[in-house]
Amino acid sequence: MQLLPGKFMLNAQTACWLSHDSLRSDWEIFQQDIRQATGFSLPISTHLPARHVIALHIFSKPDSLLGSEGYRLTVTPEKIDLAANTRTGIFYGLQTLLQLLPPQVESHELVKGIAWTIPCVQIVDYPRFHWRGLMLDVSRHFFTKQEVEAYIDEMARFKFNVFHWHLSDDNGWRIEIKGLPRLTSVGAWRVSRTGDFGTFAPPQPGEPADDRGYYTQDDIREVVAFAAKRHITILPEIDVPAHSLALIAAYPNLSCTGLPYAVNPGSPFYRILDNVLCTGKDSTYLILDTIFAQIARLFPGPYIHVGGDEAYKGFWAQDPRDQAVMQQNGLHTLEELQGYFERRVEQIILAHGKKMIGWDEILEGGLAPEAAVMSWRGIQGGIAAAKLHHDVVMSPWGHCYLDLYQGDPLVEPKTYGMLRLDSCYFYEPVPPGVDSSYILGIQGNLWAEHVPNLRHAEYMTWPRALAIAEVGWTPAAEKNWDDFIARVEALFPRFDAQEIKYATSMYQPIIQPVRDSLTAELEVKLRTQVANLQVYYSFDGTNPDYFYPAYQGKPLRFPKGATTLRVVSYRGKQQMSPVIAISVDELQRRLGNY
């Protein structure tokens, strides 16, 4: 990007010109995005005016630098020229143009008294990876069609192009399948529980299942079209053979035990209830054929995600049908039995004209011949698959799981693990020694056990997904943390104007207990991810502010009698984090655990 002197003034007289009528839908999204705040309708002009115009061109002779997603954007005081090889490139250029307008452009209400200026720039922009995804789990908690669309709409702002829709799990089946009515009449319903998912009481005898949610096929088509307009492909996931309790609740004969189960409401059940499809029953493959046939028709993207993760195989070990499959096919381990299952599932997927992708466990028993792998347990699965010349999407939990804590658990809503913004940002998706052509890209995953509503989904997603977006888009050599943070901070007022929730956890002091190497005495180091912050602290039980002692880099020791350390970050006189109060006991516990 080159910033040039001057600016373009957008006003009600600004016209738009399209080189191809096919760009109309892309322009309309931009029009919609700015209409509420500006009140401008910005009509399409049939001739190309010399001034006051936003001109969108598809190159007649492809620009080899830009590829299929890049664009060139030139803003002068007279006109805006946006050119690309494809509609997708034009759409991304329009997202950039939107970002160049003042933050108030994102408001849902008419904003008066603002000059809608765009700085003069010359931008040439194209992505590093072609797979830039986010996953939303709609099984653990259901998100309505409108909520999913809102999520997708925000993804488009940051040039994500894959929305991975986790449509089934133990806690709810979320998609209508014709001819299998119990999937939604039973599988989409569970007893209501509120609070700490995973610790809930199991369904009680006679308790009605009244917490429901699923998408009709019309809903699915609508969301697919909504995403397609934003150049986002939807990757549907049906998670088998495990994570299948909702499917098994609907059709109990599919499991090894055949026992009747309720859809799980977030109570402990793993290894106790049989949430795994039996590999030795024809009905398993018949129902998957029916399901995947319809999924293949509903979703135009090239891939179907078949899950494959975390299959507890204890029921297979005891079931004569599964054991017979192993004997007949010369399989020696239960992992090989899963491999056999995955190969049969791949045949189904291929027969319906799609490619299969699964979590990295599908490698364990021998990878299906054409399957792509989503590496989540770390990067080893991705490395192994790439070395076998299979395509890989990198989504290691330690860098990409958006359901993890992003700040100190003492001041964040309960979840598990830790993934601070910098751990997302500094992730490099191509492991050393791996042929980068097999690394399709990167994906952030938002599992929803602890995400009961859209506001919290937004909070967990932003800003960490901005880091994922940048890892997916920007050449590794161009990444710059301080510059990224400055741009994240410039986006916060835009999220505010849009009324999108986001986390400011990146400003929190990071508390690191250590033991003095000589005396083994507890000491505390403090740091921040973001530069230009000062951390203040207290031991006296009161809340520190910028009049308190400032942390200078020397580890702190608890004064005699003190039991709690309180820390807070400031930028100048502005408080940037909540006060975090941590006890000696908690510090000792973390020393043991981390």
Residues in contact with ligand ACM by the rule CB under 6 A: 309-310, 359, 376
Residue type at position 390: H
Residue whose beta carbon is closest to ligand ACM: 309
Q: Residue 128 CA to chain centroid, in angstroms?
A: 18
Which letter does DSSP use for residue 44 in this model? B
Query: What's the token pair of residue 162?
Result: 């894959």
Q: How far is the CB of 477 from ligand ACM (least distance, A)?
A: 31
What's the CA gap between 194 and 178, in Å, rounded?
Answer: 31
Q: Within a 10 A sphere around the Cβ of 267, how many other Cβ atoms?
A: 18
Cβ–Cβ under 8 Å, residues 168 and 248 = no
- CA 173/CA 310 separation, integer angstroms: 18
Shortest Å, Cβ 164 to ligand ACM: 11
Q: Cis bond leading into 369, ω under 30°?
A: no
Query: For 361-507, where are the alpha helices, taking DSSP H only?
Result: 380-387, 397-400, 421-425, 454-461, 464-473, 481-498
Pick 248 or 331: Cβ nearer ligand ACM: 248
For ligand ACM, give the closer residue by CB, 450 or 494.
450
Q: How far is the CB of 254 from ligand ACM (least distance, A)?
A: 20
CB atoms within 10 A of CB 402: 24
Q: Which is nearer to ligand ACM, 234 or 565 (CB)?
A: 234
Q: Which is nearer to ligand ACM, 149 or 309 (CB)?
A: 309
390 catalytic, yes or no? no
* Known catalytic membership, residue 243: yes
Provide the 3-class DSSP secondary structure of residue 79. Answer: strand
Provide the minimum distance between the beta carbon of 364 and ligand ACM in the complex, in angstroms, as a whole number: 14
* C-alpha of 496 from chain center: 20
Residue 277 CA to residue 551 CA, distance in Å, equals 56
Separation CA 315–CA 325 (nearest Å): 14
Both tokens of residue 77? 């005081």
Residue 464 CB, nearest distance to ligand ACM (Å)?
A: 16
Minimum distance between the CB of residue 31 and ligand ACM, rounded to whole angstroms? 39
The identity of residue 256, as a single letter, is C
Query: Shortest approach of ligand ACM to residue 288 CB, angstroms?
Result: 19
In the complex, least distance from residue 310 CB atom to ligand ACM, rounded to whole angstroms:
5
Given 169, 346, 361, 391, which residue is catalytic? 169
Buried b / exposed e over 270-292, threshold 16 CB at 10 Å, is: eeebbbbbbbbbeebbebbbbbb
Q: Are 395 and 445 in contact (CB under 8 A)?
A: yes
CB-nearer residue toward ligand ACM: 57 or 140: 140
- Which is catalytic among the residues 81, 219, 222, 310? 310
What are phi and psi for residue 460, nearest 5 degrees? -75, -25
C-beta of 294 vs 395, nearer to ligand ACM = 395
Strands of 96-151 (E only): list them: 117-125, 131-137
Strands 522-527 and 510-515: antiparallel
**CA nearest to 394, candidates 426, 425, 429, 354:** 429
Q: Which of 141, 164, 231, 243 does the annotation list as catalytic?
A: 243
Give the residues across from 566 on adjacent strands: 538, 581
Of residues 120 and 468, the one with the C-beta less far from ligand ACM: 468
Judged by beta carbon, residue 404 or residue 524, the one nearer ligand ACM is 404
C-alpha 72 chain-centroid distance: 28
Whole-number Å distance between alpha carbons of 343 and 340: 5
Residue with tokens 């986002």: 232
Task: Output 131 or 376, the one with its CB closest to ligand ACM.
Answer: 376
Query: What minimum distance in Å lies between the beta carbon of 166 and ligand ACM?
Result: 9
Measured from the CB atom, the residue of 169 and 412 that comes closer to ligand ACM is: 169
**Both structure tokens of 95:** 């997202």
Q: Kindly calculate the radius of gyration of the chain based on its CA atoms and give it in whole angstroms.
A: 26
- In the complex, what is the shortest distance from the CB of residue 139 to ligand ACM, in angstroms, rounded to a whole number? 12
Measured in degrees and rounded to the nearest 5, phi and psi for residue 207 equal -70, 130
> Tokens 């994922």 map to which residue?
468
Nearer to ligand ACM (CB atom), residue 419 or residue 533: 419
Between strands 580-583 and 564-571, the pairing is antiparallel
Nearest distance from residue 448's CB to ligand ACM, in Å?
Answer: 12
Q: Which of 308, 237, 306 is nearest to 276 (CA)?
A: 308
Catalytic residue positions?
169, 243, 310
